[in-house]
Structure 1
Amino acid sequence: MVKTAGVKKGDIVSIHFTSRTLEGELFETSKNEEPLKIKIGDGKINPAFEEALTGMTVGEKTEIILPAEKAYGEYKKRLIFKMRKSGLNLLCDPNPGDIVSIKLPTGQKSLVSVVEITKKSIKVDANHPMAGKDLKYELELLEIQE
């Protein structure tokens, strides 16, 4: 059932969102895609989003600013490291700035940014591209379902 009252815990909402750095650099938007569906209170989205959406009504828009530590975390220098090229099984030779998938020592796969390449090694950055950046989110509530 579609409702018109404000969002509360347990509701399923459809939203459009846009995220930017505070300098205005666009990071992500859902405007050209299907709206994002979220169940309020299930813990699958950032708690700041749930808090901002709670009480909103259909058609309402809001903006929130997330400091880096509440968005994608602080930039960590320890997530920049060198690996031997021979153990990477890359399908092609990457260039600095490319994003590649690697297998971490833990066995998990991770997307990393190539920083530097030598004959025998590759230096990568495993930080999220938005790590260390404060982000502004624009949220638009499209629908509420109980």
Structure 2
Amino acid sequence: MRRVDTESRRVTSRPGSVVRRLAVPGGVFAAVAGAFAYVAAVDPNEPGHYPACPLFQYTGVYCPGCGGLRSAHAFVHGDFAAALQANALAVVAYFVFAVLWTLWVVRSVRGRPMSFELRPVHQWGIGAVLLVFTVVRNLPFGGWLHP
């Protein structure tokens, strides 16, 4: 609960409210860390542990997510070159997530809500990056982007 100090007009918080505000970012962190820990423990390079990409299996076309598990496995084990080779876009997404999550935690500690709104131009931009990445990785000169 917030209290307003009338003399200085500062908003103060009770100690328990900071913990409460960090519950959701902490839960998201726990879920992501758990997923990465599982992928680190169960090697996606070994056959039979994970299902194959249906798009690649039936068409031979690499989707934007193909190689994402191998990328996460290599990333967790510190092999950043292999992570980039498996799925460079996923590695970029790991860093974007880390920055946004850190911003979320800092804003939560300060008692400010995290408002993150993707405008249509941003949505179209993300879609265009995914489309270009998919097309380039499936062309003959984009072999360096194959998982």
- TM-score band, normalised by the shorter chain? under 0.3
Larger relative contact order (Cα-Cα within 8 Å, sequence gap ≥ 6): 1
Structure showing the higher strand proportion among its residues: 1
Compute the TM-score of the two structures, normalised by the length of structure 1: 0.26
TM-score with structure 2 length normalisation? 0.26
Q: Greater share of helix residues, 1 or 2?
A: 2
